[in-house]
Structure 1
């Protein structure tokens, strides 16, 4: 049996996909896992919400439960990266505190912040097709999700498919510029 001390230390990379609901983040993440050269984990916010028991949450407690879920999700991603795992993070920065929390937890030089954009009409079409999201949710999130305005790379899933977006991200990784978007956002904060 290999002892833990025999595992070489390494900091994991976080590929942080930020976009509205239905923007194509999960599809890009799936393609990245397929094409990246190193083992990688897809950690989606939706997966954390799906892990919660189905015990009814009283309406006056819902915001607290959701806030704690998001905080736990951020800490789980930070822990995986701190242990040396590469992570594709599928997130929606639809509240200011979410970005601030991530900025306080992640090593900013190890984060590639990718803006996943999509035209409103296409978002609405995808919502109708999925049928599992309230109509207009993505459009309502649009302004806040990209309000911070700083990315390392952006993809438009209305113009490019998930495979093309994933290839662009993979091609970007070897020569990532510094300071990263996360470094600039932390310094500005």
Structure 2
């Protein structure tokens, strides 16, 4: 059985990842793809209030489970579109350790901070300043197979850029390079940042 490809969208909250993922489901016609979002996994969790320590532990387990669910879907041949926010170093390291690096097209979804702030206000369903907090964190690793600017290109055009990148899938992916850089040095996932998700 051939492992499915993974299109991994990484960007701040309100950067347009979900909109791009929905367009990808429409423009990708060479395989069956599933959109898996970390937000959807969080929405499945129990709604009762947890104290901060238990909440931090639950959030970490949720994200680790999400990463392994993506790996399992791809392992049995499904194409997967991942919608994630790699705002803590351990999240990337965990993904590097469980996802097949030769099957991941790593896409940075960028957007100017002013536009992120405008979108966040318009949405009204995110804590004010969340995107600004994540802005300097999500792209710190500095290596992608492709970057999209959702401030200048609409979701459909970003999806088309990704489709073109898939057609010339890199022999050595950004995930492979990052795995060599971080995991070969025995880097350990950092503790979660308790200030913001």
TM over 0.5: yes
The C-alpha deviation readout for 1:120-164, integer Å capped at 9, x for no partner, is 000000000000111111011011100000000000000000000
Q: Quote the offset at 1:61 in angstroms.
A: 1.2
1:5 matched to which residue of 2? none
Structure 2: give runs of 5+ residues left out of the alignment.
Answer: 183-197
Task: Give 1:15's aligned residue.
Answer: 7
Runs of 4 or more above 2 Å deviation: none
Distance in 2 of aligned mates of 1:134 and 1:55: 19
TM-score by length of 2: 0.90
1:132 aligns with 2:112: no
Q: Does 1:166 align with 2:159?
A: yes
**After superposition, where does 1:1-189 map in structure 2 within 5 Å?**
9-37=1-29, 38-189=31-182
**Length-normalised TM-score, structure 1:** 0.94
Query: RMSD of aligned C-alpha atoms?
Result: 0.7
Greater helix share, structure number? 1
3-state SS, counterpart of residue 156 of structure 2: helix
Helix, strand or coil for the counterpart of 2:21?
helix
Structure 1 position 73, deviation (Å): 0.3
